[in-house]
Homo-oligomer: A and B are copies of this chain.
Amino acid sequence: MLYRNLAEILGERIEQGLYRPGDRLPSVRVLSQEHGVSLSTVQQAYRELEDEGLVEPRPKSGYFVPHSRQRPALPMVGRTAQRPVDVSQWDQVLELVNTPAQADLVQLGRGIPDIDAPTLKPLLRSLSRLSRRQGLRELSYGSLAGEVLLREQVARLALDSGCQIAPDDLIITTGCHEALSAALRAICQPGDIVAVDSPSFHGVMQALKGFGLKALELPTDPLTGINLEALEMALEQWPIKAIQLTPTCNNPLGYVMPETNRRALLELAQRYDLAIIEDDIYGDLAYRYPRPRTIKSFDEDGRVLLCSSFSKTLVPGLRIGWIAPGRYLQRVLHMKYMSTGMSAQLPQLALAEFIGEGQYQPHLRRMRSQYARGRERMTAWVSQHFPATARVSQPQGGFMLWVEMPQGFDSQRLNRLLAPHKVQIAPGSIFSAAGKYRNCLRMNFATAMTADLEWAVRQVGQTVGELLSTTPSSEAP
């Protein structure tokens, strides 16, 4: 797969801005000589990049970086940390997660991956084969920590993110949800303060609320993640117990925290004796390969609790996640026992088979490139159909786009206006403990880009425009 390597190298250079929109890219001949590969390999790499929307062929002139690569402005950095707050917004979260599946609803709001990919078929086959083969014995209680066959596969996969984890360091959970919530409860007592990236995953926000914890929202850069200076200041000021963040393919902003920042964060955590709860649920969906290393991979004293699941990389419905809780293993095991007892065996065995048969990586490769293309198209549609004041995230992985409108804009009202059109977005306020980001929205570009989807994004953009024209904006003169 020489052409893939080449495509990845070129793609990375474009992503990093080495070639600018409108630039002509090196010719097929030049690249062939530079990299010592055949002309057809270079052509195949360019075709791949064309599919991903990263290059554009012009007849007789070669390949160019498309003008649509001219990115909209980035969302502004969140306001600086103020004080730990109690979490609100449950009503809005409930509205989002409890919307029943409707055939005619274009659901842009939820974090659902593309579950129609043919590379998932072997997983269905494993599930069905194991169900047929399964005796009643397999329907008894399994082990509390989870099936060892799956823990072995997860430990093997973790090597890709630089982690040396033994199967015995892992606990299988009911989705990443249970992993995160067990991690929080293993570390914190009610009233404790947890620092979080901001915007941040609403599931964690609601867990904080439910356990009586306070959230300290850290200013977060849309390209590099939490501001470490701000974190250090907060650590001086408040008795922070843990920091919870999603550093790789962040939800909702999509950034990848630079490796130097990861190391610096870990040093801070050591200095102030904090635990780090690292949500890596989108980590394997980084567009660049090899994927970024986890903070956990640099951890030497077991203070990082790495949480993940197969809900975003494969399918959500198996409800299988995992946690590598480091020094908190025994406490997390206790929390898992309390919350659900055991996890179901069959989906664990099916996943172990799917990964063991080497089906996971091909699926990831497909999804990485599909989601990278999705980002390009969705960004282009937003540029085209949204008011020019829209600021847009530049995700480096995953399948979510974050759009920021001027202060005063109300994305909850937007959702109400979209309801008759059968389109739903995620309002920004659910990604904040204090209900900030009401002027923002998150949209999902996981599914193959269809005309329906463009129609929906145009519908959102138009409705945003209508709302804006009737809303007094704090940015207006």
Which residues of A are interface residues toward B (Cβ below 8 A)?
Answer: 90, 93-94, 97-98, 100-101, 110, 112, 115-117, 120, 124, 127-128, 131-132, 134-145, 174-175, 177-178, 181, 185, 189-190, 203, 206-207, 209-212, 315-319, 333-335, 337-347
Nearest-Cβ distance from residue A164 to partner chain B, whole angstroms: 24
Name the contact of A177 in the complex, choosing from B185, B316, B341 (C-beta under 8 A): B341
Closest to A202 in B: B337
- List 17 additional contacts besides A115-B139, A140-B315, A175-B340; criterion CB under 8 Å: A93-B337, A97-B337, A98-B143, A100-B143, A110-B141, A115-B140, A127-B131, A136-B315, A174-B174, A175-B341, A177-B338, A177-B340, A181-B340, A189-B190, A206-B338, A319-B341, A340-B340
Shortest Cβ distance from A190 into B: residue: B190
Candidates B135, B210, B333, B341; contact of A94 at CB < 8 Å: B333
Among A97, A100, A136, A316, find the residue whose CB has the most chain B CB atoms closer than 10 A.
A136
Which chain B residue shows the least CB distance to A101? B140
Contacts of A177 in B (CB 8 A): 337-341
- Interface majority SS (helix, strand, loop, mixed), chain A: helix
Residue contact A337 to B132, C-beta cutoff 8 Å: no
A124 touches B136 (CB 8 A): yes
Known: A134-B128, A342-B316, A346-B317. A334 touches B210 (CB 8 A): yes
Q: Which residues of B sit under 8 angstroms from A131, Cβ to Cβ?
A: 124, 127-128, 131-132
In Å, the complex CA distance between A115 and B137 comes to 7
A333 contacts across to B, CB distance below 8 A = 94
Given the contacts A116-B136, A136-B120, A210 and B338 also touching, CB distance less than 8 Å:
yes
Task: Give every chain B residue within 8 A of A117 (Cβ-Cβ).
Answer: 136
29 contacts between A and B (CB under 8 A): A93-B337, A97-B342, A98-B144, A101-B143, A115-B137, A117-B136, A124-B134, A124-B135, A127-B346, A128-B134, A131-B132, A132-B132, A139-B317, A140-B317, A141-B316, A174-B319, A174-B340, A174-B343, A175-B342, A177-B338, A177-B340, A189-B212, A190-B190, A203-B337, A203-B341, A206-B338, A210-B334, A211-B338, A318-B344
